């Protein structure tokens, strides 16, 4: 991507980038604080993986990386941490010894069931000041941005 020399560039505060970033950081901080208040030793990333595994247990590690929008290396580190906490287990694929399937453990499922209502309540609280139309519009705009960025990323590969 080449930036053109343009004197009509808006200040960064008038673009979506810092607002999306601030929202994400505030949401993450609120989730972490709520987890700590409830004695849950989780990161936002860990709860995302557990959610995917409650929906489809035994995902191939590469598929889990795609589903959670993480690169393979960071996912491997995250799964290792979660395995050490007893939240997930990694098993070699019977069909292909080069890949692993990730399974949620009973402890992982129990912890997820305690943590996920906190995530839902935080999301609900975040949207309380918005109308249904504003929520729908925001989702539509963010999906459009994601699709555009995904297309551009695929073009550069």
Q: Could you tell me the pTM of the whole model? A: 0.78
Does pLDDT of 26 surpass 50? yes
The domain ranges of the chain are 40-117, 128-157
Structure-model confidence comparison of residues 94 and 128, the more confident one = 128
DSSP state of 13: G
Return the percentage of the chain with pLDDT > 90, whole number.
Answer: 61
Is the pLDDT reported for residue 136 higher than 80? yes
Exposed e or buried b per residue across 100-134, where buried means at least 16 C-beta atoms within 10 angstroms of its C-beta: bbbebbeebeebbeebeebbeebeeeeeeeeeeee
Residue 42 pLDDT exceeds 90: no
Mean pLDDT over residues 110-138, rounded? 94
Q: Is CATH 1.10.8.590 the classification given to domain 40-117? A: no
Confidence bin at 7 (pLDDT 50/70/90)? low
pLDDT band at 1, cuts 50/70/90? Answer: very low
* pLDDT above 90 (res 134): yes
44-55 and 106-127 helices, crossing angle to 10°: 110
């Amino acid at each position: 991507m080449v930036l053109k020399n343009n004197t009509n560039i808006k200040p960064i505060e008038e673009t979506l980038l810092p607002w999306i970033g601030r929202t994400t950081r505030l949401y993450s901080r609120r989730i972490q604080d709520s987890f700590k208040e409830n004695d849950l030793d989780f990161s936002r990333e860990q709860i995302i993986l557990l959610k995917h595994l409650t929906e489809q247990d035994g995902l191939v590690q590469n598929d889990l990386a795609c589903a959670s929008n993480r690169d393979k290396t960071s996912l491997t580190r995250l799964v290792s941490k979660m395995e050490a906490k007893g939240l997930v287990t990694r098993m070699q694929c019977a069909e292909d010894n080069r890949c692993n399937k990730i399974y949620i453990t009973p402890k992982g499922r129990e912890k997820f069931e305690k943590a996920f209502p906190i995530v839902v309540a935080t999301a609900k609280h975040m949207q309380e000041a918005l109308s249904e139309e504003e929520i729908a519009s925001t989702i539509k705009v963010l999906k459009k941005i994601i699709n555009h960025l995904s297309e551009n990323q695929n073009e550069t590969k």
